[in-house]
Chains A and B, each alone.
Chain A
Amino acid sequence: MTARRLPDGGSWIDRSRPLTFRFDGEEYEGFEGDTLASALLANDVTGGFRSPILGRPRGIMTAGPEEPNAFVEVSQPWFDPIVAATMVELVDGLVAEPRAGVGRLPSTRVPSRRAEHRHISVETLVVGGGLSGRTAASAAASRGDRVVLVDERHRMNDAPDDVIGLPRTTALGIYDDGYVIALESTPELERLWHVRADHVVLATGATERPIAFAGNDRPGVMLSTAAAVYRRHFGVKVDEAPALITTNDVGLVARAMVMDGGPEEGPVINFQIDPISDELPTDGSLLVSGGFNPNLTLWRAIGGTVEYHRRFACFVPGKGPPWLKVAGMANGEHIPDCAPVWYVDGERTTAFVDLQRDQTVADIADALDAGLTSVEHVKRATYIGTAIDQGRTSGVLTAAIVNQMLGTGPDAQGPTSARPPAVPVPYTTIAGPDRGDLLDPIRRTRIHPWHEEHSAVFEDVGQWKRPRYFPRTGEDMDAAVARECLAVRSAAGVLDASTLGKIEVIGPDAAAFLDRMYTNRMSTLAVGSIRYGFMLGLDGMVADDGVAMRLADDRFFVTTTTGNAAMVLDRFEEWLQTEWPELHVYCTSVTEQWADVAIAGPKARDVLGALGTDLDLSPGAFPFMTFRDGAVAGIAARVARVSFTGELSYEILVDGRRALELWEALLRAGNAIGITPYGTEAMHALRAEKGFVIVGQDTDGTVTPDDLGMGWIVRKDDSDFIGRRSLRRADTSRSDRKQLVGLLSDHLLPEGAQLVEEDTGRTPMATIGHVTSSYRSPSLDRPIALAMVARGRQRHGQTILAPLPGSTIAADVVSPVFYDPEGARHDG
């Protein structure tokens, strides 16, 4: 057998553009328009491949994505660890070598193609650029539809008029309601298309299937239509007079085409005439045609059914979604009549069904003998259909052999489930532009540039970057945090609190709505006042906290924790839209419109006064838990007297665009008293000294307000709020629930440490709680911790233990309020 390029012919190649490439260390020539497979055949490279498990010699068997044998690693001009040679578009300088079914991922940087994503919305998408697809596309375009036509081949005839043609583009998967993902793969780039179409037409054609017979995997065995494609489109003749084994007339036509209508020579086995034959040629070129399978992977993956067609011996489309149609050969049109021959009995151990998994008729028979009767079980016992070719040539064959061996009739079981993607897709292509910092949006406050200039160490809080602390030269985190905390306690500190979630809740029913969302009553809040609130889950557990400011009778400004801002807005909307549509309330996120700078410390009022404001800052005129609108440093501001540190504190909310200006003005005005920027770590330590909880740190979704010693925040009247019913459940009112306590110990307790009454040294050890927050308190100059401990409030004065690997720390249970228990300092 000698494959060769004919002197002329080949509708897909351009003989005026010769290309040089290397395969397995040898240099060869091909033409533009070749695939690596066609170029190899043109150079009479018909084998050189090995099967993955048994290591049997294999050759190019197909001309398309169904190829089970000829896999290569491409290393130039781009890298691809494993791909069918039939799907590699030949380019000048291409370097490839054979790979036996298993790729090698490179640990070093290798050349890559650009990856990008595009989105398009059309009336009609047609998959497949053959005659049926082009006809469907033209018809849709003439109706006035915007039409996209995709075809996996790199040579597609010009798209019909008014049709957007995407060659080299494979539809990977069809999702609900006409959403299709497609991969455009060119030598320069890989582009993932997201197509939204009202109608999708699958004109995906049909794939010839092999027949399982002894030795059917040897080099030289090729699907008959593949040989015809090489002859017609690439001008490559695989043999002068190949043998043929066929179940249908197309096999005969294909062979005639390969032989250029020359005299009939060589053995032909035609199962339509001669159902039994034992004279299969064991060398030389052998064309095979076992019939044609409509390509229904995409159809089946979205739930389309298939039916067995006896005359064609294949599965054709049954029912599918109304927006999805199948046309042409994929729809069972123009499929030749076919003798239902699936395997030729004889030596079963070399009669291959799935060449890429090296699985034979014998393997299927073994699985059935062992008692497996479902095609899905046979697949899982043999791994048939799970290799890179996804069983394109083995799926229907396996089902048919199972049906035949079980004697259940050819329509008893179809092929196993089809699953996207239709062809393998590089991870980087799917990731597209969402790499590096674009993996998830980075949110920065308006003051972020100042933080960066001043050496802030940042932490990720949700999507936000927040300054954790501002180390000065020579300071570690502990030293910086201690300095920042002490500055707040003794003079004043400033915190960029802009990341707090902010929602405006507006409408005639806003107050009634918030009463249902929070445990305490917001409707009685006076305009100009602020109330701290808890939001519970349906289970009665603390879900989020924040403050509500009443701007007007029908207008509230609500804050959330940084990480929960989206969740809280989502929850508001869900209840409003699905449960209480009668309420007239509108919620708007204003997190990014308002910047928020907190100034905290005994000198906070002085600094604010020095900065210049038209607000009367005296405690009588501007009491704790109220807010005022005015000007600060000439900037329109909403100033709120709330405190998360226990110190006199103002939160100054301004238009985000003026936040940096305000921040710098505050620092200038406070310079004389040593005003100090502080980060989240100091904020956490300061609030822990005061016993203020952080939702999500001191709570974990299992904590009620009462567990936190904050039962006062839950109103006791008959009006309803989310979580109210759950608070009355037996378990929620247990007396031995875990409660928030403070812990004093000689050594710093690790956060998360479990707490016990007795260290038995054995597991499992009965625990009574865990440490939720732990700091070396700068104000008290000793370790302090917050913990959730069973019956904690009754344990004040007791000593409990934290067993750690290698040591046990004893801790005294105390009130969680370590600093200023009288709360005298928030007025300054």
Chain B
Amino acid sequence: MCAVRYWRAAEPKTTYEVVIVGGGGHGLATAYSLAKRHGITDVCVVEKGWLAGGNMARNTTIIRSNYLWEESAAIYEHSLKLWEGLEEELGVDVEFSPRGVLNLAHDLGEVRSSMRRVHANRLNGVDAEWLTPEDVAAFCPLINISPSLRYPVLGATLQRRGGTARHDKVAWAYATRASELGVDIVEHAEVTGFLRGPGGRVEGVSTSRGEIRGAKVALAAAGHTSELAAMVGLRLPLQSHPLQALVSALYEPILDCVVMSNKVHVYVSQADKGELVMGAGIDAYNGYAQRGSFHVIEEQLAAAVELFAIFAHAKLLRTWGGIVDVCPDASPIVGWSGIDGLFLNCGWGTGGFKATPAAGWAYAETIATGEPSELVRPFSLERFTTGALIDEHGAAAVAH
């Protein structure tokens, strides 16, 4: 710890080439990539609270790339490849742990959509396997595959390269390296408005620490992007919901992979410290309060103790909520906002953490060149006008 030196707390200058709004994982990865790949170091990251204290500090750190559509698979797979080299890239142990991610299927519809995803992943160069219930038990013996379960395990997809990483370390490593390259990181500066130029061009931001001008302003504020966009009269197709996560008390190691079940809402891995880290379901209402409803936790834990008998005596230690911003097609928006000088990166929903390296990579390229990176070209805001949606949640089967 003593040898470590983190990012420099900067006093904002009056003008930058790029101002990034949001000092979370995406904002920091973008700043790093602007500086490292594009040589743009005259960059300021403004963060309204403490660095990486939003969804970056609140997610369950699951990393995988086994998305259905090729557009999604491309960016998440690029991200996974970046994860695989991130330690070397940043020179920091971000505790990336490719321990394997299981996605369980509990009814015939889920089996069908899982098989489809495996087939699609394979042709997209994404590692994917289908496991029978017996294979599931062999891979993760804790999972109850009894046919007498309310929703028995009918199989699972497995992405062996998927896993987890240590969220804080990732954010801090990006911040530190970006800072070393000359990027100014300004915490406790809340954006209160946008500076507009001729033709409505965005030329900077007003913050609680003064005005900061930027030739380009890039939003990376997750659930709060719609509030920011509203300040320039832009109404985005985003809904922000609380999404809770929780940890158990500390236990000796029992679970060495990530297990996800959409049907019964269980997302779990075990942290090195010993906590079971679990993601709960999304709250149905819209809101910005970073707390959710208790019944969601009840449903989650009821399902968890069915699926993992050994969890029966585990204890809930802490719950919290993040705010997920979700587009109608459950895919992100990355690219030009339609207003000169303003770029958007939002709508990542539950995919934001795993996308961090690639989102930063592609968003930076888009900001630097003014042209969308090939990885994010399909994720333009324009798709809601053309209808070229990338419907990731529609891909889940509906029971007939």
Residues of A near any B CB (own CB < 8 A): 52, 79-82, 101-107, 110, 112, 173, 175-176, 179, 181, 194, 301-303, 363, 366-367, 369-374, 376-377, 380-381, 383, 386-388, 390, 417, 419-421, 424-428, 430-432, 434-437, 439-440, 442, 459-462, 538-541, 561-564, 680, 694-697, 700-702, 726, 729-732, 750-754, 756, 763-765, 767, 770, 803-805
CB <8 Å contact, B124 and A562: no
Bits for B290-311, please: 1 = Cβ < 8 Å to A, else 0. 0101100111011111100011
Q: Are B310 and A421 in contact (CB under 8 A)?
A: no
Given A436-B306, A440-B150, A730-B387, the answer on whether A366 and B109 have CB atoms closer than 8 Å is no
A181 contacts B388, C-beta separation under 8 Å: no
Chain B residues with CB under 8 Å of A82's CB are 249-251, 315
CA distance A413 to B273 in the complex (A): 27
Stretch at the interface among B193-201, B214-222, B316-324: B316-324
When the two chains form their complex, are residues A764 and B298 in contact, meaning their CB atoms are under 8 A apart? no
Contact among B50, B302, B386, B398 with A561 in the assembled complex (CB-CB below 8 Å): B398
| Across-interface contacts of A750 in B (CB, < 8 A) | 115, 119
Q: Are B291 and A427 in contact (CB under 8 A)?
A: no
The answer to whether A462 and B399 touch (CB under 8 A), given A430-B298, A439-B306, is yes
The proximity string for B residues 365-388 relative to A, scoring 1 for CB distances below 8 Å and 0 otherwise, is 000000000000000000101111
Pull 26 A–B residue pairs with CB atoms less than 8 Å apart, ordered by A. Answer: A81-B249, A82-B249, A366-B1, A370-B5, A371-B6, A373-B9, A376-B57, A388-B249, A425-B315, A426-B315, A427-B248, A428-B312, A430-B316, A434-B302, A436-B150, A440-B151, A461-B400, A696-B109, A696-B398, A697-B397, A701-B393, A754-B119, A763-B124, A764-B74, A765-B124, A770-B119
Chain B interface category by residue count: 35 or more
Given A431-B298, A461-B400, A763-B124, list of 10 further CB < 8 A pairs? A79-B313, A81-B314, A194-B294, A388-B249, A419-B318, A439-B306, A561-B400, A563-B400, A752-B116, A754-B116
Is there an interface contact between A380 and B316, defined as CB atoms closer than 8 Å?
no
Using A421-B319, A540-B387, A730-B387 as known contacts, say yes or no to A764 and B124 having CB atoms under 8 A apart.
Answer: yes
> For residue A756, which residues in chain B have a CB less than 8 angstroms away from its CB?
123
| A753 CA / B321 CA spacing, docked (Å) | 38
Contact B51 A377 (CB under 8 A): yes
Quick one: which of A181, A437, A439 has the most chain B CB within 10 A? Answer: A439
Say yes or no: A803 contacts B123, CB within 8 Å: yes
**A729 near B386 (CB under 8 angstroms)?**
yes
Closest 6 CB pairs of A and B: A701-B394, A563-B399, A696-B398, A752-B116, A729-B387, A763-B125
Given A377-B51, A424-B249, A752-B117, A105 and B314 contact (CB-CB distance below 8 Å): yes
List CB contacts (< 8 Å) of B38-93 with chain A. Answer: 50-51, 53, 57, 70, 73-74
Whether the pair A301, B399 counts as a contact (CB closer than 8 A) is no
CB distance from B24 to the nearest CB of A (A): 13
Q: How far is the CB of A211 from chain B (nearest CB, A)?
A: 24
Contact (A106, B7) CB under 8 Å given A377-B50, A421-B319, A436-B306: no
Nearest CB of A to B318, in Å: 5
- Bitwise, B305-348 to A at CB < 8 A (1) or not (0) is 11000111111111110000000110000000000000000000
Q: Is B310 a contact partner of A427 (Cβ separation < 8 A)?
A: no
Q: How far is the CB of B286 from chain A (nearest CB, A)?
A: 13
Report if B13 contacts A (CB, 8 A): no
Contacts of B386 in A (CB 8 A): 729-731
Digitize B3-23: 1 where CB-to-A-CB distance is under 8 Å, 0 elsewhere: 011111100000000000000
Q: Is the C-beta of B264 less than 8 angstroms from some C-beta in chain A? A: yes
Which residues of the partner chain A approach B106 to less than 8 Å between Cβ atoms? 460
Give the distance in Å from the alpha carbon of A803 to the alpha carbon of B387 in the complex. Answer: 30
User: When the two chains form their complex, are residues B6 and A372 in contact, meaning their CB atoms are under 8 A apart?
Assistant: yes
Asked if A424 and B387 make an inter-chain contact with CB atoms under 8 angstroms apart, the answer reads no
Task: Establish whether residues A427 and B112, one from each chain, have CB atoms under 8 Å apart when the complex forms.
Answer: no
CB distance from B264 to the nearest CB of A (A): 7
Q: Main SS of chain B's interface residues?
A: mixed
Q: In the complex, which of the residues A303, A383, A435 contacts B289, with contact meaning CB atoms closer than 8 Å?
A: A303
A376 to B50, CA, bound (A): 8
- Greatest chain B CB density within 10 A among A52, A363, A764 is at A764
Tell yes or no: B190 within 8 A of A by CB.
no
Kindly state whether residue B122 has any CB partner on chain A within 8 Å.
Answer: yes
Q: Which residues of B lie under 8 Å from residue A302 when comparing CB positions?
A: 291
Question: Which residues on the A side are within 8 Å of B203 (C-beta)?
Answer: none
Quick one: given A373-B9, A459-B107, are A102 and B313 in contact (CB under 8 Å)?
no
Residue on A nearest B53 in the bound complex, by CB: A376
Does B187 lie within 8 Å of A374, measured CB to CB? yes
Known: A376-B53, A459-B108, A752-B117. A104 touches B168 (CB 8 A): no
Is A427 within 8 A of B318, CB to CB?
no
Give every chain B residue within 8 A of A540 (Cβ-Cβ): 387
A residues in contact with B114, CB < 8 Å: 752
Kindly identify which residue among A176, A388, A726, A751 contacts B250, using a CB–CB cutoff of 8 Å.
A388
Which of B249, B299, B303 has the most CB atoms of chain A within a 10 A radius of its CB? Answer: B249
Contact assessment for B303 and A439 in the assembled complex, using a CB-CB cutoff below 8 Å: yes
CA distance in complex: A175, B7 (Å): 37
Contact A805 B122 (CB under 8 A): yes
Tell me if A539 and B329 are in contact (CB < 8 A): yes
How far apart sit A729 and B7, CA to CA, in the bound complex (Å)? 47
- Interface majority SS (helix, strand, loop, mixed), chain A: loop
CA distance A344 to B305 in the complex (A): 46
Query: Contact at A424–B317, with CB atoms within 8 Å?
Result: yes
What 0/1 readout, one digit per residue, does chain B (88-116) give for beta carbons within 8 Å of chain A? 00000000000000000011110011111
* Shortest beta-carbon distance from B20 to chain A in Å: 19
Known: A102-B250, A380-B168, A730-B386. A366 touches B2 (CB 8 A): yes
Q: How far is the CB of A87 from chain B (nearest CB, A)?
A: 12
Would you call B305 and A80 a contact (CB within 8 A)?
Answer: no
Question: Whose C-beta in chain A lies nearest to the C-beta of B313?
Answer: A81
A439 touches B150 (CB 8 A): yes
- On whether A103 and B250 interact (CB within 8 A), knowing A440-B151, A694-B400, the answer reads yes
A460 pairs with B387, CB closer than 8 A: no
Within 8 Å CB of A390, what residues of B? Answer: 317-318
Q: How far is the CA of A764 from the CA of B305 in the complex (A)?
A: 39
A424 near B316 with CB under 8 A, answer yes
CA–CA, A370 and B169, complex, Å:
13
- For B172, the chain A residues whose CB sits under 8 A away are 377
How many angstroms from the CA of A175 to the CA of B106 in the assembled complex? 32
B282 at interface by CB-CB < 8 Å: no
A540 vs B303: C-alpha distance when bound (angstroms)? 34
A462 proximity list for chain B (CB < 8 A) = 399
B265 CB to nearest chain A CB (Å): 11
Find chain A residues with CB under 8 A from B387 CB.
Answer: 539-540, 726, 729-732
Cα distance, A390 to B320, chains bound together (Å): 14
B108, B252, B319: which contacts A419 (Cβ < 8 A)? B319
Closest to B310 in A: A105
* Complex: A383 Cα to B297 Cα, angstroms: 24
Chain A residues near B109 (CB-CB < 8 A) = 563, 696-697
User: In the complex the two chains form, is B301's CB within 8 Å of A427's CB?
Assistant: yes
Residue of A nearest to B114 (CB): A752
Task: Give chain B residues whose Cβ lies under 8 Å from the Cβ of A804.
Answer: 119
Chain A residues near B248 (CB-CB < 8 A): 424, 427
In the assembled complex, which residues on chain A have CB atoms less than 8 Å from the CB atom of B252?
102-105
- If A175-B293, A419-B320, A752-B118 touch, does A426 touch B298 (CB 8 Å cutoff)? no
Select B251's contact among A105, A381, A383, A421, beta carbons within 8 Å. A105
Name the distance in Å between A440's Cβ and chain B's nearest Cβ.
6
Collect the chain B residues with CB atoms within 8 Å of residue A387's CB.
250
| A732: nearest chain-B partner, CB-CB | B387
CB-CB under 8 A from B168, the residues of chain A are: 377, 380-381
A753 vs B125: C-alpha distance when bound (angstroms) = 15
What residues of A have a CB within 8 angstroms of the CB of B317 in the complex? Answer: 388, 390, 421, 424
Inside 8 A of B4's CB, which chain A residues have their CB? 370
Q: Which of chain B's residues 115-155 have a Cβ closer than 8 Å to chain A?
A: 115-120, 122-125, 150-151
Q: Which of B297, B304, B306, B400 has most chain A Cβ within 10 Å?
A: B400
Contact with A435, one of B108, B302, B328 (Cβ below 8 angstroms): B302
